């Protein structure tokens, strides 16, 4: 463009982005349109600074449409007679802003998950050490009391109350484990997964569920809890809906990351019809938080297979959450 911002030549990308054509005058951006000027100063901020500003961002009018957020820079190419010719470079920031928003959204979700798990851990501890221990003390007192009661009717009533108390203690233990398994912090992911599968075997003897793994190292806390929750959600859905007799939970670690496969020989379902279900969405979201990918396959009468892959840097603490461009 010339010093009067008349377009002499422009490439196809600029034409598609802004809708201008050769011979048009480049309009002032939103910043230049309203900025305060010194006497005799050029209104165009880039021209006024004669190439000393590497780039700056503002909104630029697009032909026939709204203002577009762009990044601009210019350089003096050559002078001829009394005219100067500049190269104006315009970059669309819309895509970058969407990418930054997506990264920020994932980071917020990551932090919310961490905060939620910290709260779950606290509540689990309170249930176990507070309510659980209090109920245990009451149970001991009732057991001691029952040995000194001779009235048969009262003894029978006390026995029934003691049984109900035992159920309440089991419920507290179950809820404590559901909130945050203590073994996850103490022993790691694989022992906790095995404990989860063992509880499934006890509840559903007809289901032969196996664990295969070559992953025995401790992972980052956020990776362990997210992967555990994924297995917990998938196996819960399996128990509730699949009517399976055989199931496999497989962890396969390679030099680049960790593959997790959960499959069964159940009744299957139509993936497209159920893909927006909360269970499947939660699985995908948790793996996505670890920069991973999820593939869900199912066939009616054949079974279901969930395949997930988490990259290595999310497993060993090389987290890149802080790469968001602050612009």
Question: What pLDDT score does 325 carry?
Answer: 29
189 and 310 together in one domain:
yes
Does a structural domain hold residue 325? no
Does a structural domain hold residue 33? yes
Strands of the chain, DSSP E: 56-61, 67-80, 83-92, 208-213, 246-254, 257-264, 293-299, 303-311
Band of pLDDT at residue 324, cut at 50, 70 and 90: very low
Band of pLDDT at residue 276, cut at 50, 70 and 90: low
Where in the sequence is the domain holding 239, given as residue range(s)? 183-319
DSSP for 140-198, please give it.
HHHHHHHTT---HHHHHHHHHHHHHHHHHHHHHHHHHHHH--HHHHHT-HHHHHHHHHH
266 and 315 together in one domain:
yes
Average pLDDT over residues 271-288: 82
Question: What pLDDT score does 198 carry?
Answer: 93
The two tokens of residue 235 are 């196996």
**114: number of Cβ within 10 Å:** 15
State the Cα–Cα distance between residues 78 and 93, nearest whole angstrom.
28
Greatest mean pLDDT among 133-147, 235-249, 265-279: 235-249
Domain boundary among 92, 116, 136: 92
Band of pLDDT at residue 322, cut at 50, 70 and 90: very low
Average pLDDT over residues 295-301: 95
State the Cα–Cα distance between residues 144 and 96, nearest whole angstrom.
70
291 and 243 together in one domain:
yes
Give tens-digit pLDDT for 89-139.
998 887 777 777 777 877 787 677 777 777 777 776 677 667 877 887 888
227 and 100 together in one domain:
no
Question: What pLDDT score does 175 carry?
Answer: 73
115 and 23 together in one domain:
no
288 and 194 together in one domain:
yes
122 and 172 together in one domain:
yes
Judged by average pLDDT, the poorest of 124-128, 129-133, 247-251, 288-292 is 124-128
Q: Could you give the number of structural domains in the chain? A: 3
Average pLDDT over residues 7-19: 91
Question: What pLDDT score does 93 carry?
Answer: 85
Domain boundary among 149, 180, 211: 180
Question: What pLDDT score does 215 carry?
Answer: 93
Pairing of strands 246-254, 257-264: antiparallel
CATH of the domain at 264: 3.30.565.10
Domain boundary among 180, 201, 228: 180
Give tens-digit pLDDT for 198-219.
989 998 999 999 999 999 889 9
Does a structural domain hold residue 176? yes
167 and 268 together in one domain:
no
Q: How far apart are the first and last CA of the chain?
A: 27
194 and 308 together in one domain:
yes
Does a structural domain hold residue 324? no
Question: What pLDDT score does 131 carry?
Answer: 81
Does a structural domain hold residue 326? no
Average pLDDT over residues 1-22: 91
State the Cα–Cα distance between residues 248 and 250, nearest whole angstrom.
6
State the Cα–Cα distance between residues 279 and 298, nearest whole angstrom.
15
188 and 71 together in one domain:
no
Average pLDDT over residues 299-327: 72
112 and 155 together in one domain:
yes
Q: Is the pLDDT of residue 87 over 70?
A: yes
Cβ atoms of 85 and 77 closer than 8 Å: yes
Buried b / exposed e across 291-316, counting CB within 10 Å, b at 16+?
Answer: bbebebebeeeebbbbebbbeeebbe
State the Cα–Cα distance between residues 222 and 316, nearest whole angstrom.
10
Does a structural domain hold residue 5? no
State the Cα–Cα distance between residues 322 and 145, nearest whole angstrom.
60
Does a structural domain hold residue 111? yes
Question: What pLDDT score does 194 carry?
Answer: 94
- Select the more confidently predicted residue: 272 or 11: 11
Does a structural domain hold residue 150? yes
Judged by average pLDDT, the poorest of 28-42, 47-61, 80-94, 220-234 is 47-61
Note the residue count of the chain: 327
Average pLDDT over residues 268-282: 81
81 and 104 together in one domain:
no
Band of pLDDT at residue 320, cut at 50, 70 and 90: very low
State the Cα–Cα distance between residues 72 and 46, nearest whole angstrom.
8
């Amino acid at each position: 463009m010339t010093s009067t911002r008349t377009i002499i030549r422009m490439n196809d990308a600029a034409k598609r982005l802004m809708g201008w054509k050769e011979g048009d005058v480049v309009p002032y951006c939103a910043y230049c349109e309203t900025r305060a000027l010194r006497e005799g100063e050029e209104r165009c901020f880039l021209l006024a600074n004669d190439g000393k500003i590497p780039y700056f961002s503002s909104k630029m009018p697009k032909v026939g449409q709204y203002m577009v957020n762009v990044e601009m820079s210019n350089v003096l190419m050559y002078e001829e007679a009394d005219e100067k010719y500049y190269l104006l470079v315009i970059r669309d920031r819309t895509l970058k802003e969407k990418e930054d928003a997506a990264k920020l959204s994932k980071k917020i979700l990551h932090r919310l998950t961490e905060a939620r798990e910290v709260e779950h851990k606290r509540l689990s501890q309170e249930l176990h050490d507070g309510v659980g221990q209090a109920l245990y003390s009451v149970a001991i007192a009732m057991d001691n009391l029952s040995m000194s009661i001779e009235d048969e009717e009262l003894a029978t009533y006390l026995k029934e109350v003691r049984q109900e108390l035992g159920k309440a203690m089991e419920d507290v233990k179950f809820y404590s484990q559901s909130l945050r398994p203590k073994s996850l912090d103490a022993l790691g992911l694989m022992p906790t997964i095995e404990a989860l599968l063992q509880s499934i075997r006890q509840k559903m003897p007809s289901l032969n569920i196996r664990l295969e793994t070559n992953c025995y190292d401790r992972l980052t806390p956020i990776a362990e809890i997210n992967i555990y929750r994924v297995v917990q959600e998938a196996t819960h859905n399996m128990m509730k809906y699949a009517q399976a007799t055989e199931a496999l939970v497989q962890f396969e670690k390679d030099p680049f990351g960790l593959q997790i496969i959960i499959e069964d020989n159940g009744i299957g379902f139509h993936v497209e019809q159920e893909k927006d279900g909360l269970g499947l969405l939660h699985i995908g979201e948790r793996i996505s938080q670890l920069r991973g990918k999820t593939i869900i396959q199912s066939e009616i009468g054949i079974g279901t297979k969930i395949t997930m892959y988490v990259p290595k840097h999310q497993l060993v603490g090389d987290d890149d959450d802080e790469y968001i461009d602050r612009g």
